[in-house]
Amino acid sequence: MMTVIRYLTAGESHGKALIGILEGIPSGLPLSTEDMDIDLKRRQVGYGRGGRMKIESDHAGILSGVRWGKTIGSPITIFIENKDWPNWQDVMSTDNPPIPPLLKGGKGGFVTRPRPGHADLPGVIKYGHTDIRNILERSSARETAMRVALGAIAKKFLSTFNIRIGSYVIQIGAVIGHQSSVIGKKSGEVELLKAFEKSEKSAVRCSDGKASKKMIELIDKAIREGNSLGGIFEVFVTGVPVGLGSHIQWDKRLDGRLAQALMSIQAIKGVEIGLGFEMSRRFGSEVMDEIFYSPPYPPLSKGAGFYRKTNYAGGIEGGMTNGMPVILRAAMKPIPTLRKPLGSVDISTKKTVKAAYERSDVCAVPAAGVIGEAMVALIIADAFLEKFGGDSIIETKRNYDEYLECIKRF
C-alpha cells in the first residue's frame, strides 16, 4: 500500500521501549525531537484516559537518519522509552523465566481469561500461546505512540509544502457535537483550521462547547459504572494539490489507502470519506460537487481556476485528490477492557470466568484522532513523494513548483 515511504514499529506495551524505523523521507528536512514530542503529548491527553498516562511522559529519541538537525536521506530510527518498564522487567524479561515461577493471576502472572472484543483469544489460538500476555502486549494501543512519532515526521515534511493535517472529535457515545464539516458545507480550509484550533482547547477535543460538557458527563457515568465509550473523530488535510493517488489500479486509489490506514488503528471499526454513508441516502443531484471555473488574473498568476462550492466527495474523486481538503471520519468502538468484566472462558481450565482486567482507558476517542492524523500523514506523504519524487527536499520542491506552474495553464 506504500510505495516510497516504508515504516516498521516494534516493542511491547510493558517492554523496555518502542522502536520505529521510517524510510523514504528526503534529505534536508529540519527535524528535532520536539517535532514529535508535541504530538506525543497530544496523544496522551484527553478526558477518559487511563492511569498509565500519569506514568508515561512520552519523549522521542532519534537514533539515526538525522545529522545536525536535518534528515540525511537514510532510514530514521526513533525510540520511545517505556517509563513503566522497571515495574515489569521480570514479567517482560527477554531472558529465561524467573525461578520460582511467577504466580498465576495479577501483575506478571499468566493471563488466561480472554477479553471479549480484544485480540486475546484469536491471538493465542493463532500463535499457539498459553499465556495471553504474549498477545495483549503487542496488540495494545501503546504501539500507536510510535505511529504518532513517525506520523509527526510525515507532517513536518508535508508542512514544507503548506499541507496541514488536523482532527477533532464529533461524537462520543450518543452525544453528537457539530455535524461533520462536509454535511454542514463548511469544508473550506479556514473553517477546518478554526474548528481544529477550538477543539485543541477542549478536554475531549471537540469544537462544540455544549457537546463537550455532555461528553465529559457521559464519560464520568461510564467511569462510575465500570464501562467504556467509543465515538467518532474527523481528520482533515488542507493544501493538498490535485492528482495524488491514481485511478489506474485498485491499490493505487488514495481513498482505499487512507481507509486501510485508519482501519489499522486499534478499535476502529468504520471509515467514511466525505459525505460517506449519507451519500447512499440521497439523490445523485444532491451529493455531487458541481464544478466552476474562474480564470486567473492576470494570466498564469495564482487564481481560482477550477473550484467547487461543496465538498461532499471529501476531496477525493476516482481515487485521486481533486484540490479540495481531504476529509475522513473514523468510528471507534468502546475499549474492550472493562472494570466490570464481561463473561469469558479460561483458556487453561475451560471454565466460565470473568474476563481479565488490564489497566486501560475509559474513552480514548480524543487520542485516536491524533493517531488518525499520523496515519493519514504517512499515506499522504507517501502519495506526495510518489507523485513528485526527489531525494532531497530541494529536488522535491522544484518538482512540486513546476507541477503547480503546469496546472495553472490547464
| Domain range annotation of the chain | 6-95+105-408
Least confident interval from 171-180, 198-207, 321-330: 171-180
At residue 102 the predicted structure's pLDDT band, cuts being 50, 70 and 90, is low
Average pLDDT, integer, range 222-240: 96
Q: What grid cell was written down for 281?
A: 441516502
Instruction: State the pLDDT at residue 57.
Output: 85
**105 pLDDT band (50/70/90 cuts)?**
very low
Phi, psi of 353 (to 5 degrees): -145, 175
**Once rounded to an integer, what is the mean pLDDT over residues 186-190?**
76
> What is the per-residue pLDDT for 106?
47
Residues 341-349: what's their mean pLDDT? 94
CA distance to 160, 182, 234, 284, 333, per residue, from 281 (Å): 39, 15, 21, 10, 24
Higher pLDDT, 351 or 307: 351
CA 126 to chain centre: 26
**What pLDDT, on a 0 to 100 scale, did the predictor assign at position 317?**
97
Q: Average per-residue pLDDT in the chain?
A: 91
**Strand runs (DSSP E) across 287-347, as ranges?**
291-294, 305-308, 316-317, 320-321, 326-332, 343-345
Q: Residue 104 pLDDT > 50, yes or no?
A: no
CATH numeric code, 6-95+105-408: 3.60.150.10
Q: At what angle do helices 33-44 and 144-159 cross, to 10 degrees?
A: 130
Q: Where are the beta strands (DSSP E) in 212-370?
A: 231-238, 268-273, 291-294, 305-308, 316-317, 320-321, 326-332, 343-345, 352-354
Torsion, Cα of 307, 312, 315, 318 (10° steps): -100
For the cut 90, the answer to whether the pLDDT of residue 99 exceeds it is no
Phi first, then psi, for residue 57 (nearest 5°) are -135, 80
Strand 164-172 and strand 60-64: the pairing is unpaired
The candidate with the shortest Cα–Cα distance to 82, out of 23, 136, 10, is 10
Tell me the backbone φ, ψ of residue 290, rounded to 5 degrees: -60, 150
Beta-bridge partners for 125? none
